[in-house]
């Protein structure tokens, strides 16, 4: 991939009055009274809305053994979204690489690139996306958390498969190929690799390799500025990216009124509280969340969580997002809306688009 092509595939373009490009991070959430089919239907609605309103990309996260999250197989969901869209970039936010063989990931995303040429992003993380026991089941091993230094080696192997350029002395050279891929000819294009993280490890690695970096501000806000500083300080220009490009994930929900926004985001906060205390389940309804009797420690957790969720009227959300861009210098915002009600989530993105006068296609 040439430097010009790589940078073009990575960098978005701010639309309307937005300070930076906006994108969508989708967990395919499943609420009480809903099914996984409902969640995937909502994902299609979100992707179509995002495409029509000039959002840059729609990414799908990888999580496992969480009843309220249906995004266990990003590549499968992305293929479905590709069939229902035509322009927006689609990607993983991310594939948890230690859960998979690098060759399998290269094959999956080579397939996606063939299905939607020039529209696929491969975002990678090193966390399991689940608890330790589930991670051991995914990896079919008694060691669910491999050493951190295995991730760079896995990343290198994946990149070699995507480019089909193992060194001549390597046992895979000329013998093992990721298909679809360069061995079939074509222009040599492949999905750009992004590194995802919530601490300094991936920030430093992304900087040293000259890769774009996406930081999980929505659940690791205290680490955002140190990680972004580290990424920019360690960045080395690469063939794909001449200068740093940092995206931050932010939880945000706009509603027609402050009270309704609070009702909806409280459902997501209660869902996260239950997950963090070993009680994962479907995302509760607004009525259940309002009726829940929080203990003192639970209330502290929820208040802390909601402090990092940008929510309220469209004007309030706009002010919050603008302030976040100014504080962090982010090159792009990837917005996730963790709430129970599908219509409220879709409406939230629509209101944010309206607040920034994003054009309708």
Give the per-residue pLDDT at 145.
54
Give the per-residue pLDDT at 133.
79
pLDDT in tens, 327-348: 999 999 999 998 999 999 999 9
Contact 246/217 with Cβ under 8 angstroms? Answer: no
Give the per-residue pLDDT at 220.
92
pLDDT in tens, 136-146: 787 766 555 55
Tokens of 155: 């990343």
Quick one: CA dihedral 96, 108, 23, 238, positive or negative? Answer: positive
Task: Work out the percent of the chain whose per-residue pLDDT is above 90.
Answer: 84
Contact 115/85 with Cβ under 8 angstroms? Answer: no
Give the per-residue pLDDT at 130.
66
Instruction: Look up residue 320 and give its DSSP letter.
Output: H
**How many residues are present in the chain?**
361
Give the per-residue pLDDT at 127.
80
Higher pLDDT, 9 or 155: 155
Q: Between the CA of residue 272 and those of 266, 282, 305, what are the distances in Å? A: 10, 10, 9
pLDDT in tens, 231-241: 999 999 999 89
How many CB atoms lie under 10 A from the CB of residue 38?
A: 16
Is residue 194 very low, low, confident or very high in pLDDT (cuts 50, 70, 90)? Answer: very high
Give the per-residue pLDDT at 2.
54
Is residue 57 very low, low, confident or very high in pLDDT (cuts 50, 70, 90)? Answer: very high
pLDDT at residue 263 above 90?
A: yes
Give the per-residue pLDDT at 35.
97
Distance from CA of residue 76 to its chain's centroid?
15
Give the per-residue pLDDT at 137.
81
Cα distance between residue 107 and residue 88, in whole Å: 22
Closest to 4 in 3D by CA, of 164, 160, 189: 189
Place of tokens 């295995």: 150
User: What is the β-pairing status of strands 246-254 and 332-336?
Assistant: parallel
pLDDT at residue 225 above 80?
A: yes
Mean pLDDT of 9-32: 93
Mean pLDDT of 111-138: 87
Mean pLDDT of 287-302: 96
pLDDT at residue 129 above 70?
A: no
Cα distance between residue 89 and residue 187, in whole Å: 19
Q: Between the CA of residue 91 and those of 41, 50, 78, 109, 287, what are the distances in Å? A: 17, 14, 7, 9, 34
Q: Between the CA of residue 225 and those of 11, 216, 309, what are the distances in Å? A: 21, 11, 17
Higher pLDDT, 72 or 148: 72
Residue-averaged pLDDT of the chain: 93
Minimum mean pLDDT range among 8-17, 138-147, 320-329:
138-147
pTM of the model: 0.94
pLDDT at residue 42 above 60?
A: yes
Mean pLDDT of 5-13: 78
Minimum mean pLDDT range among 11-15, 200-204, 291-295, 304-308:
11-15
Is residue 3 very low, low, confident or very high in pLDDT (cuts 50, 70, 90)? Answer: low
Place of tokens 């504080």: 327
pLDDT in tens, 75-97: 999 999 999 999 999 999 989 99
Give the per-residue pLDDT at 153.
95
DSSP 209-226: HT--EEE-TTT-GGGHHH
pLDDT at residue 170 above 70?
A: yes
């Amino acid at each position: 991939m040439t430097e010009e092509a790589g940078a073009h595939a990575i960098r978005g373009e701010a639309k309307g009055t937005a300070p930076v490009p906006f994108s969508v991070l989708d967990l395919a959430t499943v609420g009480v009274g809903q099914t996984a089919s409902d969640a995937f239907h909502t994902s299609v609605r979100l992707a179509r809305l995002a495409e029509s309103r000039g959002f840059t990309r729609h990414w799908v996260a990888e999580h496992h053994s969480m009843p309220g999250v249906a995004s266990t197989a990003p590549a499968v969901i992305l293929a479905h979204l590709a069939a229902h869209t035509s322009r927006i970039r689609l990607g993983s936010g991310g594939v948890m690489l230690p859960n998979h063989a690098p060759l399998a990931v290269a094959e999956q995303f080579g397939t996606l690139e063939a299905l939607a040429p020039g529209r696929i992003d491969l975002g990678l993380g090193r966390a399991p996306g689940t608890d330790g026991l589930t991670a051991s089941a995914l990896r079919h091993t008694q060691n669910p958390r491999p050493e951190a230094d295995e991730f760079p080696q896995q990343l290198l192997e994946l990149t070699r498969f995507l480019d089909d350029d193992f060194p001549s002395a390597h046992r895979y050279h000329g013998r093992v190929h990721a298909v679809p891929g360069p061995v079939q000819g074509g222009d040599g294009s492949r999905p750009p690799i992004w590194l995802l993280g919530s601490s300094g490890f991936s920030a430093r690695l992304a900087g040293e390799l000259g890769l774009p970096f996406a930081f999980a501000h929505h659940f690791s806000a205290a680490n955002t500025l140190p990680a972004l500083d580290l990424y920019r300080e360690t960045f080395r220009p690469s063939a794909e990216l001449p200068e740093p490009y940092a995206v931050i994930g932010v939880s945000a929900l706009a509603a027609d009124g402050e009270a309704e926004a609070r009702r909806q985001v409280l459902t997501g906060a209660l869902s996260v509280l239950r997950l963090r205390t070993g009680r994962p389940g479907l995302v509760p309804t607004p009525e259940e969340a309002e009726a829940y009797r929080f203990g003192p420690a639970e209330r502290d957790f929820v208040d802390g969580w909601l402090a990092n969720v940008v929510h309220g009227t469209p004007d309030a959300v706009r002010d919050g997002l603008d302030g976040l861009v100014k504080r962090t210098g982010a090159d792009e915002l990837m917005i996730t809306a963790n709430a129970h009600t599908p219509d409220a989530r879709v409406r939230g993105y629509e209101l944010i688009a309206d607040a920034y006068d994003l054009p309708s296609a």
